[in-house]
A and B are shown apart, each in its own frame.
Chain A
């Protein structure tokens, strides 16, 4: 009976099952898994690291106000450097004929730093009209135009 073919097959299967249940040693499997993880982390890390460490230029304009009072004009633009590199920004206001007016000199802003650009004039008010929309460009010395903002002219 034991020598019969079906039993041998079964016996062989049972024996194989018994061997497979033993499997790889838990220590080896642990080492194996750890190695895979470490290798994976090592492989991905430089990739992500390089992405993270490369400078990301980004700004957020938190306020832009254009006020006119007869011939007097006041522009205030507040912004924050939300990127990971310093920026050297300049702010330019354009009238309806796209004539540029610089709001002060360029400012260098550290990452997470803030800046405020002010344009104040006793004569420019006559160039701008209440209720009209005007363009403001924020330009970095290295990265070019960082943002274009539209602002309504208020006041009288």
Chain B
């Protein structure tokens, strides 16, 4: 018995080796399969980009944007960040924003882009990192602004060539002036460049918009407007009065020529404005008499005063006296109701060159240009300020 035990002991090393070899083979096989399986099913935490914090602050014409982006990736990212403005186009864009692996970066940008935003509205923030990662979010615009009314500047391609001279020599200068003032004052605006867009605005009127018509007496209208001018002008007056629009006329005899872009219909001198006001006692004079600035519109200096607008836009001091090409002569009954008088004849207010009128819940602003002391660029800027002043006071 002892001899047998001893013999087994002597040869016992062999099974241990066998077990070791087997375990080795098993580990090797498992290892190979584990690596292969891991390669297929390994799924780490998903890569992600997170907008941790975003701020958009408007101060009239200026706006500043600040965003913190966190990356949950193992590589450095070069991102492009943009904020989409009221017009659906990028208003603020910051390129080459570097975010370290699994780190965060804060970027900021500011500029004269307040006119792209309305305080209180949310705006899309788009973050893209080439073709393999991106994210988006919404940032609310905070801060201060003059008005929530949107500005429409009519700048229809080729329209001025169709209507010719109607009190305005260069409508592009008027448009540029209005645009410049809108940017400085932070008023969101849309340049309407097609007749179809303008027709769509007329057909589905938004509330509270301001319209600058830079073509003087020439007015873009839908085809029905050429066929039935009186009906169109009454309807336009109705839209202004019921949707709180402000219509800004910058020169010439108002509504003296209507065109749909291909056809046009001239109206007798005062007919257009009479139909618009629904009265037959309005006259557009061509006296070219000197008109005085009415000082009372410049007495205030608060945030929505004409003085403040002029300061913000770096506009020169308004001339005390100017001559205008097309002042308006009101009927004795003083219809329609006047909101403000800006320039009027020395001997009374029956003849005024710059005046705003109340049309229902809206306004009509008459600038009887051209004036001898203001360029058309300045006329475009000032016309917006008068519309804004009329709206806000």
Mark B12-30 against chain A: 1 for CB-CB distance below 8 A, else 0. 0011011001100110010
Interface centre among B15, B26, B33, B124, by most chain A C-beta atoms within 10 angstroms, is: B124
Q: Which of B1-60 contact A (CB under 8 A)?
A: 4, 11, 14-15, 17-18, 21-22, 25-26, 29, 33, 36-37, 39-40, 43, 46-49
Docked-complex contact A70 and B88, CB < 8 angstroms: yes
List A contacts of B103 (CB < 8 A).
none
**Nearest B-chain residue to A18, judged by Cβ:** B4
In the complex, B122 has a CB within 8 A of chain A:
yes
Cα separation A8 to B126 with both chains bound (whole Å) = 98
Docked-complex contact B15 and A115, CB < 8 angstroms: no
- B: number of interface residues (CB 8 Å): 41
Docked-complex contact A65 and B135, CB < 8 angstroms: yes
Tell me the dominant secondary structure on chain B's binding face: mixed
Once A76-B134, A114-B133, A116-B134 are accepted as A-B contacts, the answer to whether A63 and B22 lie under 8 Å apart by CB is no
Stretch of A94-102, A117-125, A133-141, A142-150 contacting B (4+ beta carbons < 8 Å) = A117-125
List A contacts of B132 (CB < 8 A).
78, 113-116
Cα separation A7 to B126 with both chains bound (whole Å) = 98
Docked-complex contact A156 and B25, CB < 8 angstroms: no
**Nearest B-chain residue to A121, judged by Cβ:** B88
Cα separation A120 to B29 with both chains bound (whole Å) = 51
Cα separation A105 to B375 with both chains bound (whole Å) = 50
CB distance from B201 to the nearest CB of A (A): 13
Once A30-B21, A34-B21, A125-B88 are accepted as A-B contacts, the answer to whether A76 and B136 lie under 8 Å apart by CB is yes
In the complex, A52 has a CB within 8 A of chain B:
yes
Docked-complex contact B33 and A48, CB < 8 angstroms: yes
CB distance from B50 to the nearest CB of A (A): 10
**Nearest A-chain residue to B28, judged by Cβ:** A41
Mark A88-115 against chain B: 1 for CB-CB distance below 8 A, else 0. 0000000000000000000100000111
In the complex, B288 has a CB within 8 A of chain A:
no
Residue from A34, A38, A69 within 8 A of B124 (CB atoms): A69
In the complex, A9 has a CB within 8 A of chain B:
no
Mark A13-28 against chain B: 1 for CB-CB distance below 8 A, else 0. 0000000010000110
Docked-complex contact A78 and B47, CB < 8 angstroms: yes
Docked-complex contact B126 and A30, CB < 8 angstroms: no
In the complex, B84 has a CB within 8 A of chain A:
yes
Docked-complex contact A116 and B128, CB < 8 angstroms: yes
Cα separation A8 to B218 with both chains bound (whole Å) = 136
List A contacts of B308 (CB < 8 A).
none
List A contacts of B122 (CB < 8 A).
69, 155-156
Q: Which of A33-47 contact B (CB under 8 A)?
A: 33-34, 37-38, 41, 45
List A contacts of B48 (CB < 8 A).
62-63, 78
Docked-complex contact A78 and B133, CB < 8 angstroms: yes
In the complex, B224 has a CB within 8 A of chain A:
no
Cα separation A84 to B135 with both chains bound (whole Å) = 26
List B contacts of A87 (CB < 8 A).
none
List A contacts of B135 (CB < 8 A).
63, 65, 76, 78
Cα separation A52 to B37 with both chains bound (whole Å) = 7
List B contacts of A27 (CB < 8 A).
14
List A contacts of B223 (CB < 8 A).
none
Interface centre among B26, B89, B138, by most chain A C-beta atoms within 10 angstroms, is: B138
Interface centre among A37, A38, A120, by most chain B C-beta atoms within 10 angstroms, is: A120
List B contacts of A62 (CB < 8 A).
46-48
List A contacts of B29 (CB < 8 A).
41, 45
Mark A55-75 against chain B: 1 for CB-CB distance below 8 A, else 0. 010001011010101111010
In the complex, B123 has a CB within 8 A of chain A:
yes
List B contacts of A156 (CB < 8 A).
121-122
Chain B residues in the interface with A (C-beta under 8 A): 4, 11, 14-15, 17-18, 21-22, 25-26, 29, 33, 36-37, 39-40, 43, 46-49, 84, 86, 88-89, 121-124, 126, 128-138
What would 26 A/B residue contacts be, using CB atoms closer than 8 Å? A26-B11, A26-B18, A33-B18, A34-B22, A37-B22, A38-B25, A41-B29, A45-B29, A49-B36, A52-B40, A62-B47, A63-B46, A67-B124, A67-B138, A69-B122, A72-B84, A72-B88, A72-B124, A78-B132, A84-B39, A114-B133, A115-B131, A115-B132, A116-B129, A116-B130, A116-B133
